Amino acid sequence: MKYIFVTGGVVSSLGKGLAAASLGTLLEHRGLRVMLQKLDPYLNVDPGTMNPLQHGEVYVLADGAETDLDLGHYERFTKCELTRDNNLTSGQVYETVLAKERRGDYLGKTVQVIPHITDEIKSRIRSFEQTGKADILITEIGGTTGDIEGLPFLEAIRQFILQVGHENAILLHVTLVPYIKAAGELKTKPTQQSVAKLREIGLQPEVLICRTEKPLETDVREKLSLYCNVPISSVIEARDVESSIYEFPLMLQTEGLDEKVCQLLHLDTRPADMERWKMVVHSIVNPSRQVKIAVVGKYVELQDAYKSIYESLCHAGGANDCGVDLEIVDAEQIEAEGAEIFLSGVSGILVPGGFGDRGTEGKIAAARYARENKIPFLGICLGMQIATIEFARNVCGLEGANSTEFEPTTPHAVIALLDDQREVTGKGGSMRLGSWPALLKPDSLAHRIYGQAEIAERHRHRYEFNNAYRERMEEKGLVISGTSPDGSLVEIIENRDHPWFIAVQFHPEFLSKPEAPHPLFDEFIRASIS
């Protein structure tokens, strides 16, 4: 197995995850089997308990692991199937090492960062070797060079590369080459210093991926090469992409990144055939029409909080020759000013997942607006619960209907805790998580959209539709078109008296890819266009 490590320098948010995923795309298109992994230096065991406004969305895997959003890029850009082994945090490393220490596995030794923590990290990097499923592992290290908490990971990589040799493991450093307006120049010093920091701890990057606003001229490349001790052919320009992140692999291919990596790792493969990818990107970047979609949420300040949803809308737009004009609406503003001003001009309304009661009344108003004005509506997870509450209150006349998550003493708990959640006290990894099957009702909108009777989708929730209200709501026109196979959990609801209204208890956004948009998003965009 060959190993590629990806670190980042100078600042955060450089798109390390995108760079790793894009390299994965290119290598896959050369016929190699790729696996991607993320090592996160923070102490949380997983990002499941973190606020989306701080950390971006929590990406859920099929096996129920709650992971960093970069794993979403990995799954969208490549075919690799990820599991909880693909996201390792310092929290997990320490948890494992301390459990071993308590069991007495270290036989009386003093337990230390080197070698015990670093050994544990290396064993998690090595763990993919035995599966025989991949030719190459790309491991991204979260954080920025110079962070104290990242040091054990970098030390583990140093040891690892030494053990397997430079022909089997290389280091790519993603860095920033800022343009300073006053000087009218690109500056290489931050990159020089960031690479110097790596060299101080015994790591020499083989390749520099330079994020920049302006083209890297030869003199800048020469300087980077000289001061950072990499050959000039290994200085890769990664200019800000103009229209779509899916252009990134194409840009890196033009710069020769995949070719260089294969040379360094002695991999003899054909060049990457990116023709189909190019076509997909072309349709995303050059649509002949536009559609305006409102996403009504509460984590609106941060682009990353609903990452997979925005990406899924973009994939579906591409498939329908349509650009998606996103209108990100703050649910609390709807509460203050009403739905009309924000939603009257949109062609589709989406209410995404979420936790806690802030903004829920605004989301309920948005669902009502969509229902009453016959605007295509897609509710996701909390979005389904919101649509249920709205229907209960305003169609079934169940005054004060609510979810017990927002109002524990509501007179009509149309959304309530899942039975097996009642005894749960801990917050980490304790929801109904991961891929679960659902059966679809024949002739329902859901059945038509999926074109099949059984589906499997990823979940992340504690609350559910309260079956005690099923009949009353169905009588008034709510359609329960998807349930768990035993019929006990409502998975999808629709509205009989609406042309396109569907809300799901799961997260379809985790299964959409640029070449294969998720059918729910695809049809949502189609309905919104018409």
CB of 382 to ligand GLN, least distance (A): 3
CB of 95 to ligand GLN, least distance (A): 25
The residues, ordered by sequence, that sit 6+ positions from 408 with a Cβ below 8 Å of its Cβ are: none
Cβ closer to ligand GLN: 7 or 308?
A: 308
Is residue 353 part of the contact set for ligand GLN (CB under 6 A)? yes
CB of 60 to ligand GLN, least distance (A): 9
- Rounded Cα distance between 315 and 517, Å, is 5
* Piece of 194-202, 319-327, 352-360, 443-451 that binds ligand GLN (CB under 6 A): 352-360
Is residue 355 part of the contact set for ligand GLN (CB under 6 A)? yes
Residue nearest to ligand GLN (CB): 353
CB of 415 to ligand GLN, least distance (A): 8
Is residue 382 part of the contact set for ligand GLN (CB under 6 A)? yes
Could you tell me how many residues of this chain bind ligand GLN (CB under 6 A)? Answer: 10
Is residue 354 part of the contact set for ligand GLN (CB under 6 A)? yes
Cβ closer to ligand GLN: 73 or 432?
A: 432
Is residue 460 part of the contact set for ligand GLN (CB under 6 A)? yes
Is residue 48 part of the contact set for ligand GLN (CB under 6 A)? no
Is residue 393 part of the contact set for ligand GLN (CB under 6 A)? no
User: DSSP states of 408-419 as a string?
Assistant: TT-SSEEEEE-G
Cβ closer to ligand GLN: 279 or 424?
A: 424
Which residue type occupies 248?
F
Quick count: other Cβ atoms within 10 Å of Cβ 313? 27
Indicate the helix (H) or strand (E) that contains 139: strand 136-141
Cβ closer to ligand GLN: 211 or 460?
A: 460
Q: Which two tokens stand for residue 487?
A: 């019929």
User: DSSP states of 195-253 as a string?
Assistant: HHHHHHTT---SEEEEEESS---HHHHHHHHHHHT--GGGEEEEEPPSS-GGGHHHHHH
Is residue 64 part of the contact set for ligand GLN (CB under 6 A)? no
Q: Which two tokens stand for residue 149?
A: 């908490």
CB of 505 to ligand GLN, least distance (A): 8
Strand extents, DSSP E, 44-135: 59-60, 66-67, 87-89
- Rounded Cα distance between 157 and 169, Å, is 9
- Rounded Cα distance between 55 and 13, Å, is 11
User: Contact with ligand GLN (CB under 6 A): which of 77, 463, 465, 521?
Assistant: 463
Cβ closer to ligand GLN: 28 or 390?
A: 390
Residues 155-172: b if buried by 16+ CB within 10 A, e if exposed: bbbbbbbeeeeeeebbbb
Q: 273: number of CA atoms within 13 Å, CB side?
A: 5
Cβ closer to ligand GLN: 277 or 510?
A: 510
Residues at the interface with ligand GLN (CB under 6 A):
353-355, 381-382, 405, 460-463
